[in-house]
């Protein structure tokens, strides 16, 4: 398993409480929930693509349909 980095994150109490409830609903720790949400957000934004991620492995890779075309934005 790859080495993990430790960071300090300061959160407002109401955000932490919401994360705690959400993590409990999905049987994760708060740390695991934050990591899951960050990974999913990075993938959805196209900022993280890893060969180590397989659909269904809990990495969030299954949340994006690689075959779907990107939506076009009308700037007019």
Q: What is the pLDDT of residue 48?
A: 86
Tens-place pLDDT, residues 54-74:
444 444 444 444 444 445 555
Q: What is the pLDDT of residue 2?
A: 81
CA dihedral for 9, 22, 59, 48, sign (positive or negative) = negative
Q: What is the pLDDT of residue 18?
A: 98
What residue spans of 11-73 are helical by DSSP H? 13-25, 30-44
What's the token pair of residue 2?
């790859």
Please return the burial class of 60, using the count of CB atoms within 10 Å of its CB with bins 0-12, 13-18 and 19+.
Answer: buried
On whether the CB atoms of residues 43 and 64 are closer than 8 A, the answer is yes
Q: What is the pLDDT of residue 25?
A: 97
Tens-place pLDDT, residues 8-26:
999 999 999 999 999 999 9
Tell me, yes or no, if the pTM score tops 0.85: no
Residue 53 CB neighbours (<10 A): 15
Task: Give the DSSP letter of residue 69.
Answer: P
Q: What is the pLDDT of residue 49?
A: 74
């Amino acid at each position: 398993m790859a080495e993990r980095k430790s960071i300090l994150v300061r959160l407002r109490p109401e955000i932490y409480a919401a994360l705690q409830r959400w993590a409990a609903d999905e049987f994760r720790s708060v740390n695991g929930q934050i990591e899951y949400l960050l990974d999913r957000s990075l993938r959805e934004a196209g900022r993280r693509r890893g060969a180590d991620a397989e659909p269904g492995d809990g990495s969030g890779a299954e949340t994006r349909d690689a075959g779907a075309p990107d939506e076009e934005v009308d700037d007019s």
